[in-house]
Structure 1
Amino acid sequence: MANYLKLYPIPEDYRFHRGGQISQGLLAYETWGTLNEDQSNALLILTGLSADSHAARHGEHDTAGWWDYMIGPGKAIDTDQWFVICASSLGSCKGSTGPCSPNPKTGQPYRFDFPDLCLEDIANTSVLLCQSLGIEQLQAVIGPSMGGMSALALILNHKNYTRHLVHIASGMASPPFSTAIRSLQREAILKDENFNQGYYSATNWPEEGMKFARKIGMLSYRSAKEWNDRFPRSLKKVPQHPFGIEFPVESYLEHHANQFIHKFDPISYLYLSRAMDWFNGHQYGTPRGANPLNDISLHSALVVGAETDLLFPVDLQRELHHLLLDSGVDSELIVTDSIQGHDAFLVDQQTFSQLVGDYLSASAV
């Protein structure tokens, strides 16, 4: 993977959406396929909160990416046809500059000195990256989950920069239930004694806070219907201590939480989580209450949701679909019956490959 990872230097004069700036900022990104002569085959993928630039493998000896089934030669996002760009979000801990990165002025991590991060910043720096590659306009921007909100931030702030949109499991703003979930995750991290106001270390890591944050998240990523099918009601084992793990679903949560603890930086998690809750696509409507998408120039859009998604319920996708139609965009809404909840776009390979592949093929005509 290291051979394919590239670094884009963010311009020194870049100003964050809520104010502030950083020096010597970088975006870590990867590309697949070949940009054609008129730069008309570029697709930008904007990621979910914890995903990175490695969306797919680059060859048989490379490690699998987080969307490996979707991207590659002959796949739904066919890299024989499309030039695909995916960056680790600004603010993350996956190679791009974020609050855990060294501040060039001090040599120490920014921690809470990092500027307030918004999804608009992720969108704006992604556009700057694409422009640095010579891309004057994208064929499509594709965003699942947080990436769907970042894609809307891009469209609302760069109205002519993409011809098409693939918006998956997301919405114009976070609903109260989702904000409540993320608020509890942030609280779990902040209250871990090892968090120490951001001055933690590898040897004093806020493990419990990160573990509980992940477990809370897992409750919202999948559906109760799927869990009914996967986990038997019978006890798994005799717990090692009173009220210890004894049900299969508890083991599932414990396993995934332990895998995640050291894979993501706690302050980056806080910043990105808050950025999701801050985003409000409705505020772009002028005058107040007007359709915020009225003056965008999309040719078409595909809006996809899952009936079992708790985190971004299908009402959000229906709302976006109608806003797009009202603004004159040729929008198609598809609500799947996938039982995997919010994570369906990661695991229901057949359904989502078909939807994305068919849409991109039609958009190329």
Structure 2
Amino acid sequence: MAHDARRYCALPSPFAMKRGGALRDARVAYETWGMLSDARDNAVLILTGLSPSAHAASNAEDPSEGWWEAMIGPGKAIDTSRWFVICVNSLGSDKGSTCAASINPATGEPYRLDFPELSLEDVANAAHVVIESLGIDQLACLIGCSMGGMSALAYMVLHPGSVRAHISVDTAPQAQPFAIAIRSLQREAIRLDPHWNKGHYRDDSYPTDGMSIARKLGVITYRSAMEWNGRFARIRLDPERRDDNPFGAEFEVESYLEGHAQRFVHTFDPNSYLYLSRASDWFDMAEYGNGSVMEGLSRIRVEKAMVIGVSTDILFPLEQQEQIAQGLSAAGAGVDFVALDSPQGHDAFLVDIPNYSRAIGGFLGQL
């Protein structure tokens, strides 16, 4: 049986939250790979998307495959023979960090909807506590993927001078209406499931249908229409695989979404999903620039940055990544902007490993 590679960092108690309220006795989970140099100047922090854990790659304590296994390790793009790599599980996520499913020390019961309103600034501040606890004054590089890319922008604007270089992966400086609309529907699907019960579900009465629909909506937006056409066209299911119910699944793409949903439900706490989803909607770099995203980005000071986006990403469109690149460049950073044509859409950073490896490995190799 795999040993748990997770480590835990206690947050200051109380830990004040951006939108009010505070957490007591909170912690975040993280994992590390490689060795911290004597000068403590080779640290690379990875901030994740909404659903992943801190287990980005296998390690001695936990040999199971991580969510970015192909990217992290000796000789890989994020080379652990050179870099000390840290991946932090977001505050508010149920993968080891304090979240809505955690016990509220004030009541002895799970927080559920009594968890304070969560922002990505809180996620960033909690990650910064981890880095400080490791005795690291400045990160060699901060990498943020998807939601983690927004958390990374918050990290850099809130903690000036704490990051030397930045890699922004498939993210945005603020949520656009399309992304907000999709996440709103995902949350509505969960909240309308009778088993959600205003956050008071149990394992034996879990909002399976709501979580399933939320996941399907997500998967549709994580990939591109080009990929859906290429993979599934209009292929119908064999008669024995069809759903007998009226209007049941008839096409291959419906079966694919169902499989994805079944693998996701019961692996993520629904309330935690709601909190992180809403935190993504709220994030806006314009708050740091008198209503201007570009001015907000201009407050970030890093020496070098690489911004990677994908032309087929409908959730975090390429023009939003161009905005990040322009903003960081205007602030004085040397910026590489990489626009990929991967057909996989938003999920390309998890799938199109050759192109992402080339870009990220090339950038880190120049640091």
TM-score by length of 1: 0.97
Alignment partner, residue 26 of structure 1? 27
Which residue identity does 2:259 align to in structure 1?
Answer: H
Q: Does 1:176 align with 2:173?
A: no
Q: Any conservation in 2 of the 1:310–1:341 contact (CA below 8 Å)?
A: yes
1:88-103 matched pairs, under 5 angstroms = 88-103=89-104
Cα distance between partner residues in 1 of 2:211 and 2:124: 27
Question: Counterparts of 1:342 and 1:290 in 2: how far apart (Å)?
Answer: 23
Does the CA contact (< 8 Å) of 1:237 and 1:247 recur in 2?
no
- 2:59, 2:304 → 1: CA distance? 29
Report the Cα offset of residue 286 of structure 1: 4.3
Larger mean Cα displacement after TM superposition, 181-190 or 97-106: 97-106
User: Is the contact made by 2:301 and 2:328 (CA closer than 8 Å) also made in structure 1?
Assistant: no
In structure 2, distance between residues paired with 1:189 and 1:288: 33
| Cross-structure match for 1:222 | 223
1:314-325 → structure 2 map (5 Å cutoff): 314-325=318-329
> What SS does the aligned partner of 2:39 have?
coil
Per the TM alignment, residue 331 of structure 1 is displaced from its structure 2 partner at its CA by 0.9
Q: Report whether the alignment pairs 1:346 with 2:350.
A: yes
For structure 1, the 5+ residue unaligned runs are none
Aligned to 2:304: 300
Q: 1:227 to 1:106 in 2, by over 3 A?
A: same
- Whether contact under 8 Å (2:5, 2:62) holds in the other structure is no
Deviations 1:289-338 (A, max 9, x none): 76113343200110000010010010101111111121111111111010
**Matches of 1:308 and 1:5, distance apart in 2:** 34
Taking only the aligned residue pairs, the percentage that are identical comes to 49
Contact 2:294–2:327 (Cα < 8 Å) also in 1: no
Amino acid at match of 1:51: P
Give the letter aligned to residue 103 of structure 2. P
Tell me, yes or no, if structure 1 residue 361 matches structure 2 residue 365: yes
Give the corresponding residue for 2:46.
45
How far, CA to CA, are the matches of 1:219 and 1:193 in structure 2?
24
5+ long unaligned stretches in structure 2: none
Aligned to 1:206: 207
Counterpart check, 1:277 vs 2:281: yes
3-state SS in 1 of match to 2:350 = helix
For residues 27-47 of structure 1, the C-alpha deviation after alignment (integer angstroms, 9 at most, x for no partner) is 111000000011000000000
Q: Give the length in aligned residue pairs.
A: 363
8 Å CA contact 1:173–1:280 kept in 2: the answer is yes
Amino acid at match of 2:256: Y
Report what 1:330 is aligned to. 334
Runs (4+) of structure 1 exceeding 4 A deviation are 286-290
Q: Which moved more, 1:320-329 or 1:34-43?
A: 320-329
Alignment partners' CA distance in 2, 1:29 and 1:320: 27
What letter matches 2:68 in structure 1? W
1:190 Cα offset (Å)? 0.4
SS for the counterpart of 1:194 is helix
Q: Which amino acid aligns with 2:353?
A: Q
CA RMSD of aligned residues (A): 1.4
Q: Which residue pairs with 1:57 in the alignment?
A: 58
Contact 1:170 1:312 in 2 (8 A): yes
Matches within 5 A, 1:118-133: 118-133=119-134
Q: Does the 8 Å contact 1:29/1:53 carry over to 2?
A: yes
Report the Cα distance in structure 2 between the residues aligned to 1:41 and 1:289, rounded to whole angstroms.
30
What letter matches 1:32 in structure 2?
W
